Amino acid sequence: MQTEPLFTNDAIVFGILMLCLGIVFFTENKKTGFFPKFYKYVPALLMCYFLPAIFSSVGIISPESSQTYFIASRYLLPASLVLMTLSIDLKAIFKLGPKALIETLAELANSTAKAIAQDESLANYAHKLSKQEADIDWSMDAEQIERNIRSFNPWPVCFTQMSGNTVKIYQAKVVKLTGEPGTVLASDKTGITIATGKNSIKIEQLQPQGKKPMSAQDFLNGRADWVEINSVIGNKGENE
């Protein structure tokens, strides 16, 4: 026997749903206390749908007894979430992996996840990585080199030759500078900029042989002569 929900009036249901959004938006913007830690692991997006689902489960509101619930859940909540994303810190997007995992697990738990079949025509064989693949080819585009640096960490870790020494590269970013591939364009405490086939790479964290990974500033404190301006690094530089 289906139990009548506590509230069936559309105006009251609408108010409850707006209260859910208000609570989530308010607490998500708190900078101190419990909530910053809470939203570090639980996405605000999940809570916007989770709170109304709880009210429905305990019989406070019901999608069957009010058209407001249907309209709000299908149109109002998504529209509000779009507005919320306008204030998103883009730098934090790169840290959303754990939150995306939680959302996916939630979808699996309530059977709303949709499986998408893999297009076998696009599949290709991934051969075993070798250390030689991690030797940076500075004639490649900066974007590809930066991707290699990230994907080859923690193994085999991208490396290059600097003044006859093998140096591993752990962290770098693409910058809009041009020059002959492998040429040192700049070196300061923010990084060591190396020209590539297109744009340049600014090395921010690296590791000389026998040492621990260090910042560019720490590297330059004792090895600035390895990356003098206009010098060439890599196999090309070692062969010249």
Residues of the chain by 3-state class (helix, strand, coil), percent to 5: 45, 15, 35
Q: What is the pTM of this model?
A: 0.51
| Residues 4, 44: Cα–Cα separation, whole Å | 30
The percent of residues above 90 in pLDDT, for the chain, comes to: 43
pLDDT tens for the chain, 240 residues long, are 456 778 877 778 778 878 887 888 888 888 888 888 888 888 887 887 788 788 888 888 776 666 665 666 666 667 766 766 665 665 666 677 777 778 887 888 888 888 888 888 888 888 888 899 999 999 999 999 999 999 999 999 999 999 999 999 999 999 999 999 999 999 999 999 999 999 999 999 999 999 999 999 999 999 999 999 999 999 754 544
| Residues 168, 176: Cα–Cα separation, whole Å | 23
Q: 177 with 203: CB under 8 angstroms?
A: no
